[in-house]
Chains A and B, each alone.
Chain A
């Protein structure tokens, strides 16, 4: 009886210890960043290769794809971390956000909607008949969403180019997802094998004709948290030298009919000099070591 009681006590003590340990771990896992560091919650700062964290909401601007201009009205966020720059190229390797959402999906409304990209008068009978249903049911809105076309390691960032307004500050392989029930779930311009590559600068672009040079801006610099975080207000990243492939996968089983209509209407594939990306951002960069410290100081 006594031995059984002792064994019960031991089991109970072990259970209590396990629970306490679990609580302690839970505590460390739910450590909260504070102040300006909170933006870097999804930065993989525990990876010692990560030297800087980035959180960059794109709050405005526009993307001109062929002859379709889409204003940016919904905020998309690029976040993650990046390495020390390569001493020769000055380019840093990008690291995926902890939650996997390195570039958040922010659908932007396409002006003109479905009629703007699949006009009734130009469509074959089958498409016309189908599209009638969508118009009758007011399913005419089309969204366009920028998505990463490759893994985040395909993103290249140069801090010096960003601040000095010379050269490529951010290179990002993307694809444009066109979304509407009629277009189906796989209507894209660009793919992982043939991405649209933005080579964004805060300086002046030198595009092929018919585009003309446009000017970016590195933003107004402010240092925060005792020099551990910087914020660039009103930064403008631009590229009007990129090319865009034809749309694919649009219209589901009717894609063989719908793709050519969309391509004809938007002007795809669109050669370099016909497309533009203007991204208006607030850019936050933090020293990863300082983010780690902040995390450790706030268990």
Chain B
């Protein structure tokens, strides 16, 4: 009786351990990715917000190389071209914007039974302009980490305040925490083109 109890407890703890620590992997059509794949896409909607100033880009593209390392989904953001960027104010323009220090390391993460992609080493330089803009000539360096919630059904990664909070991600610019909102489709570009990409 005692032995059965101990065994049950051990099994339960093993299940919880697996739930908490199981590292999600990249999968195509339900099968774990072997080797590397390239995922590319353009943000459906994306913006960076300092309180009082939101910056949006018409073209917010990305290129992500993914692979499973010891069963865990890993990757690196290798390209992030940003074009036609504007702000929501009438006085501030975006003179230039560019991702720096690429590649940025990425990893699939399981937090409270939800899968996330966690990106580290983010660095984006934004130079604002406009004579009437108080940030004219100021290079805002956006640095830190980002966490995006993976939706296996929609095949998207969504970055917002909730996904940042869940993953402990923080992006900063001009000494302040900033908010990144964005929905990115996840679509394979090489050997697994047109196959459903999921994370589990």
A residues with CB within 8 A of B = 51-52, 84-85, 159-160, 162-165, 202, 217-230, 232, 285-287, 289-290, 293
The reply to whether A218 and B175 form a contact with Cβ atoms under 8 Å apart is yes
Residues of A within 8 A of B151 (CB): none
Tell me if B53 is interfacial: C-beta within 8 Å of chain A: yes
- Count of chain B residues with a beta carbon within 8 Å of a chain A beta carbon: 24
Tell me if B141 is interfacial: C-beta within 8 Å of chain A: yes
The secondary-structure label for the interface of chain B is loop
Residues of B within 8 A of A225 (CB): 91
Residues of A within 8 A of B89 (CB): 223, 226-227
Tell me if B95 is interfacial: C-beta within 8 Å of chain A: no
Tell me the B114-145 residues at the A interface (CB within 8 Å).
Answer: 128, 130-139, 141
Residues of A within 8 A of B139 (CB): 160
The reply to whether B91 and A228 form a contact with Cβ atoms under 8 Å apart is yes
B residues with CB within 8 A of A = 50-53, 87, 89-92, 128, 130-139, 141, 174-176
Kindly report which residue of chain A lies nearest to residue B176, judged by CB atoms.
A221
The reply to whether B176 and A228 form a contact with Cβ atoms under 8 Å apart is no
Kindly report which residue of chain A lies nearest to residue B89, judged by CB atoms.
A227
Q: Give the top 3 A-B pairs by smallest Cβ distance, nearest first.
A: A218-B175, A223-B52, A227-B89
The reply to whether B51 and A222 form a contact with Cβ atoms under 8 Å apart is yes
Residues of A within 8 A of B137 (CB): 84-85
The reply to whether B92 and A227 form a contact with Cβ atoms under 8 Å apart is yes
Kindly report which residue of chain A lies nearest to residue B141, judged by CB atoms.
A164
Identify which of A84, A219, A222, A287 contacts B52 (C-beta below 8 A).
A222
Identify which of B52, B87, B138 contacts A160 (C-beta below 8 A).
B138
Kindly report which residue of chain B lies nearest to residue A163, judged by CB atoms.
B174
A71 to B135, CA, bound (A): 33
The reply to whether A220 and B176 form a contact with Cβ atoms under 8 Å apart is yes
Query: In the complex, how many angstroms separate the beta carbon of A103 from the nearest chain B beta carbon?
Result: 22
Residues of B within 8 A of A202 (CB): 175
The reply to whether B132 and A219 form a contact with Cβ atoms under 8 Å apart is no
A-B contact pairs, 11 of them (CB 8 A): A160-B139, A162-B175, A163-B138, A163-B174, A219-B175, A222-B52, A223-B51, A227-B134, A228-B133, A229-B134, A287-B133
A197 to B60, CA, bound (A): 47
Q: A228-B91, A228-B134 are in contact. Are A165 and B175 (CB under 8 A)?
A: yes
